[in-house]
Amino acid sequence: MSSSSPQQAAWLPKLVIAPSFVLSLLFIYGLMAWNGYLSVSASRLLPNYEFVGLQHYSALLDSDRFRVAMTNMAVFGFCFIGGAMALGVLLAILLDQKVRGEGVLRTIYLYPMAISFIVTGTAWKWILNPGLGLEHLMRSWGFTSFSFDWLVQQDMAIYCVVIAGVWQSAGFVMALFLAALRGIDDSIIKAAQVDGASLPTIYWRIILPSLGPVFFSTLLVVSHLAIKSFDLVMALTAGGPGYATDLPATFMYATAFTRGQIGVGAASATVMLATVAAIVVPYLYSELRGKR
């Protein structure tokens, strides 16, 4: 018994982890591989495993709707990531001054993360609706010339999605940076103040540059949210007006599930996967290289 116990101790953790590993391998990476093959198959309404090469990818490039979705992805990604990061960092710095009522303010800022993107999209759909939201309220108060109808304008509707997304995600960014700021040694700030540095200069020149890992981790999470955004768009604009606010995720849903073009939808999903990999893989490589 004594000779077998070390072997049991070595194999027991592997046996416990094995079912989860196998299920993850099958239902995550296996389905990713299956989707990749569907993207080069003749699948339409039902899976058809006849190989057709890059035909569906060529159809994506020729699709005006997909080009609009990719353009929206660039606009939404840049504005959403930049807005959430900037607002989150600003809120974290303000709360780091140990203001009165910090606990209440922190709860208020974090509250949007407690609700789903469906609820966020629905709420902002009401707020931004010209007939019953902000525009209607301001005009009822006497500001008859006030206009905010971005939600029904093809060129501006995507920015309504940005506003809703930033509102929900800025609190999450704030929480990450506030935790990092609370880990900074106060002696660094005091030493810089003795040297005559102002508080904005201390944060800009000393503290924020030292939070590089937090920036990269937060950027990775927020970028992931931007790329896979689906429920927020569907609840807020449903991709409209027309398909002016389509993103790759909503395009994939529309082509694969409502138009019966499984191959084109799988190709769109593969493009999304490649976009995520382009962000995640360099980050993981830098992390592993740093540990070595």
Phi then psi dihedrals of residue 254, to 5 deg: -65, -40
The CATH architecture assigned to 55-291 reads Orthogonal Bundle (1.10)
Task: For 115-167, write each residue's pLDDT tens digit.
Answer: 889 999 999 999 999 888 889 899 999 888 898 889 999 999 999 999 999 99
Using only C-alpha atoms, the chain has a radius of gyration, in whole angstroms, of 24
For residue range 8-42, what is the model confidence (pLDDT) as tens digits?
A: 667 777 788 888 888 888 888 898 999 999 999 99
Beta bridge partners of 51: 41
Q: Taking a C-beta distance cutoff of 8 angstroms, is the pair 169, 80 a contact?
A: yes
Judged against a pLDDT cut of 70, whether residue 4 lies above it is answered with no
pTM of the model: 0.85
Could you tell me the CA-to-CA distances from 62 to 35, 59, 140, 265 in Å, in that order? 21, 5, 47, 14
Torsion, Cα of 124, 129, 131, 136 (10° steps): 60
Neighbours of 223 (CB within 10 A): 19
Place of tokens 């993207």: 39
pLDDT at 18: 84
Task: Please state the φ and ψ torsions of residue 41, each to the nearest 5 degrees.
Answer: -110, 175
Position 274 pLDDT exceeds 50: yes
Residue 146 carries which DSSP code? -
Domain boundaries defined on the chain: 1-38, 55-291
d(CA 113, CA 60): 34
Q: How many Cα atoms are found within 13 Å in the side-chain-facing hemisphere of 149?
A: 11
Q: What is the mean pLDDT of residues 251-259?
A: 84
pLDDT band at 80 (very low <50, low <70, confident <90, very high): very high
Q: Pick from 163, 284, 166, 273: which is nearest to 216 by CA?
A: 284
pLDDT tens profile 82-124? 999 999 999 999 998 878 888 888 888 888 888 889 999 999 9
pLDDT for the residue numbered 236 = 94
DSSP class of residue 151 equals: G
Measured CA to CA, the distance from residue 273 to residue 279 in angstroms comes to: 10
- What are residue 182's phi and psi, to 5 degrees? -70, -15
Per-residue pLDDT tens over the stretch 195-226: 888 888 888 888 888 888 888 889 888 988 89
Q: What is the pLDDT of residues 38-57, one digit of tens each?
A: 999 998 888 888 999 899 99
Residues 6+ apart with CB under 8 A from 115: 168
Give the pLDDT confidence score for residue 1 in this predicted structure.
45
- Lowest-confidence range among 221-230, 244-253, 274-283? 274-283
